[in-house]
Structure 1
C-alpha cells in the first residue's frame, strides 16, 4: 500500500466522482502502477482518466494515448467481428463450423456449431500436443492443429474457458467468411471508420506508445502457481500451453503476431468505445455497427455451469453469452445480471450494459494474479453503479 497517489489526468463529470475516487484508491491502496479508465453513458464520455507510470522504473508517465496489451479483453472485439458477419447474413451462428472451415470436421467435430466457438463450448480449450509460443505465432499451424484435434469434452454441453484458442477458432471462421484475419476485419469495419485506437497485435510504429506490462508481485504469483498446480488437464492446456505472461507480451514477436484472444492493444477510451457499441445496442458515435437485434444476441445466455477451466477458481456457476460473459448473480459487471463484459488476464476489463446505457474500459500495466474480477476492476465497477 502507498499513501502516494500520482496526479490523475483527464476529466470526470461531477456525477461520476465516485469513479474518480475509486481510481485514486487503486493507486493508494491496491498497488496500481499505471492505468486508465473511461466510462460512456448514453454514448457520451463521462469519465476519461489516466495516471501513473508506463514502465516499472517510473521514467515514462502514463499519457493520454498510452497503449497497453489488454489480454482477453480482446475477445469482445473479436466476437464483434463474427456478429457483424452474422448480422449481414454471411455467417449462421447455428451452422456447423465445418460449413465454413471443412477441415474442422475431423476427430468427431462435424456437429460443433459456430455458437459453440463463441461461447467456449467447443471442447477445444487448449491444444493436446505441446505448442510453443513461436508456434502460437504461426496462424496456419495453430488453426490446423485445432482443426485436427479431438475435443476435451462433448461439445455444446459445458463451457471451458478457451484462453488462447478462442481467437484462432472464431478468427479462422471470420477469415474463411470475409477473407480477412480479425485484426484487419476489425480495422476495416469498426476501428477505422469510428477512429478507435485499438489493434489486434501492435504495429511496430506504435511501440513507443506501449506501456510495459509488469508481473504480479511474488506473493501473488506464488498463489497463482498453487492454483495452477491443481488444474485438470484441459485447464492446464487452456492456460499454460503455451504459457505467456508480462515478459512475453512485451516482446516484438508477440506484438507482431495475430492472437485475437489475447494481444489486443488499446487505450481505456478505445475499450470503452468498442464495448460501447454493445451498450448502445449496436450504435456508437452516431454510426450503426450492428442491428439492435444482433447486438442483443451477443448476450444470449448459453447455460450457466461450473466452467471446466476456471471452475476451480470460482465458487459459483458462471454463464457466457455469444462471446462475452454475463454479469450473473456474482455481479462481475455490476448488479444487472444481463450486463456483459470481458476481463483480461491481470486486471483489464471491458463492460457493456445496454439497459443502463453505459460502457466501461479499464486498462493497466501492473498485472494482478486474477484471470477475472481483479479487486481494482471490481472497485471501479462498484463505484460506477453506485451513481447510476
Structure 2
C-alpha cells in the first residue's frame, strides 16, 4: 500500500481513496492533489516518488512539478485580473496595445479571440530556438510577422505555444512586467502560491523529475475514438498540430526536459508548481481565500463565457474554450463537471479548474506525463468524480 501524506477532511475521504488507488494500481509515480471549497482547503495530499535520476526521493509537501499547458491557466488568470482592473479590454484589438501585431491582416483581432484560440496565429516560421525565447524580442517579432492559419474569428484551434506569448506581450505592454513577473507580484505573492512562470534558482531543488509515459500507455490513452483526428495530426508533418508545435519550436522534443525550459519564461507551457497552489488560485478566482478574491463575480463569469466550441482545427477533436481557459466538453476535459467549470490541462498530466456552482477549486499535479496531449485522464478522472460526489454532501 502506498503511503499518502497530508490532510483530507472526512467528508472528502473518497478523494483520498481514489488517490491511493492510483498508486496501488500502478498508474502513478508521484503526485499531489488539492481541493478548496468555500475558500478553505479541504484536501491537500501528496505521495509517491519525486526524483528517479539521482536516487529515489519521496514526493514532499514542497515538491513542485512542471505544469505544461496548465500554465495557460496562470496566464489567463493574469489577463483577467487586468480586465477586472480596467486595464485590458477583451473586445479591443491586440494591435491597440501592440501596434506591430497588425501586420498580415491581424489589425482587428480582439484580445478575446487570442484567449479563445480563434485568432489563427498558431504557428511561426522559421521555428524559434531556446536562445530566441530567452532573448524575448525574436519571439515577439516572429508573432507580429506571423500570418494567421485561417481567417481570424472564423474557426478555432488550440494555440499550443503562441497563446501565452501573445497574451504575455499584451500584459508586458500594459504593465511593464513580463507575464511571470506580473503573476509573481500580483497573484502568487499575495496568495502565498508556490506557482511560477519562470522558476527561480532557489526553487530548482524542489522540482520533481518528469517521466514520459511508455508506448503502451500512450496507445491506451489515445484509444478514444474521439481522438482519431488528433492521432493522425500528430503523425502528419503538414498538419496544423505539427506546424504549431514541432514546426514552431526548434528542438521541440526537448522542450519540457531541456535544462533551461523551467527557468525560461514560456507562458504557454513552462510553469511549475503544486496542486495546493493551483487549487488555491482557482478558488481565489471565484471566491475569497485568506481575505483575497482575484476577480469580481462578473469578471469570473466573463472568464468562463464560451468563446469557441466545436471542432478544433489544430487538435482535430471537439474542444471548448472560454477566455484563456478550457471548458467542459470533448475528450480533453476528463470526467463530468458542472457546466460553470473552467480550468486547464497540461501534457505533464496536470489538471486544475474552478467550479462556481459547487464553490470548488481543484488541482492535480503528477510527474508521470499524460497519456494524452493534455491531462492525465486515467488518473485525474476518478479524483474529479470523487470530488464532486463529496462536494454536495
What TM-score do the two structures reach when normalised by structure 2?
0.90
The alignment status of 1:195 with 2:192, answered yes or no, reads yes
The alpha-carbon deviation at position 247 of structure 1 amounts to: 5.4
Equivalent residues of 2:286, 2:297 under 8 A apart: no
| 2:321 equivalent in structure 1 | 320
| 1:273 equivalent in structure 2 | 280
In structure 1, C-alpha distance between the alignment counterparts of 2:37 and 2:295, rounded to whole Å = 19
In structure 2, C-alpha distance between the alignment counterparts of 1:35 and 1:272, rounded to whole Å = 14
Equivalent residues of 2:5, 2:46 under 8 A apart: yes
Superposed CA deviations along residues 45-66 of structure 1, whole A, max 9, x for unmatched, are: 1111000011135611100000
Superposed CA deviations along residues 25-60 of structure 1, whole A, max 9, x for unmatched, are: 111225210000000111111111000011135611
**Secondary structure, counterpart of 2:50 in structure 1:** coil
Structure 2: where are the runs of 5+ without partners?
223-230
Matches of residues 206-217 of structure 1 in structure 2 within 5 Å? 206-217=203-214
Out of 345-354 and 246-255, give the one that drifted further. Answer: 246-255
In structure 1, C-alpha distance between the alignment counterparts of 2:238 and 2:386, rounded to whole Å = 36
The 3 A distance-change label for structure 1 pair 231 and 318 is: farther
Count of aligned pairs between the two proteins: 378
| 2:58 equivalent in structure 1 | 61
| 2:227 equivalent in structure 1 | none
Match of 1:382 among 379, 382, 385: 385
Equivalent residues of 1:333, 1:341 under 8 A apart: no
The alignment status of 1:20 with 2:16, answered yes or no, reads yes
The alpha-carbon deviation at position 332 of structure 1 amounts to: 3.5
In structure 2, C-alpha distance between the alignment counterparts of 1:205 and 1:356, rounded to whole Å = 37
Root mean square deviation of aligned Cα: 2.1
Superposed CA deviations along residues 228-265 of structure 1, whole A, max 9, x for unmatched, are: 10475321122323277785434441122111111111
In structure 2, C-alpha distance between the alignment counterparts of 1:255 and 1:329, rounded to whole Å = 29
In structure 1, C-alpha distance between the alignment counterparts of 2:274 and 2:250, rounded to whole Å = 25
Structure 1: where are the runs of 5+ without partners?
none
The alignment status of 1:36 with 2:2, answered yes or no, reads no
**Secondary structure, counterpart of 1:255 in structure 2:** coil
The 3 A distance-change label for structure 1 pair 274 and 262 is: same
Q: Structure 1 segments of 4 or more deviating over 6 A?
A: 222-226, 243-246
The 3 A distance-change label for structure 1 pair 307 and 370 is: same
What TM-score do the two structures reach when normalised by structure 1?
0.92
Equivalent residues of 2:286, 2:295 under 8 A apart: no
The alignment status of 1:256 with 2:258, answered yes or no, reads no
Equivalent residues of 2:346, 2:373 under 8 A apart: yes
In structure 1, C-alpha distance between the alignment counterparts of 2:68 and 2:209, rounded to whole Å = 13
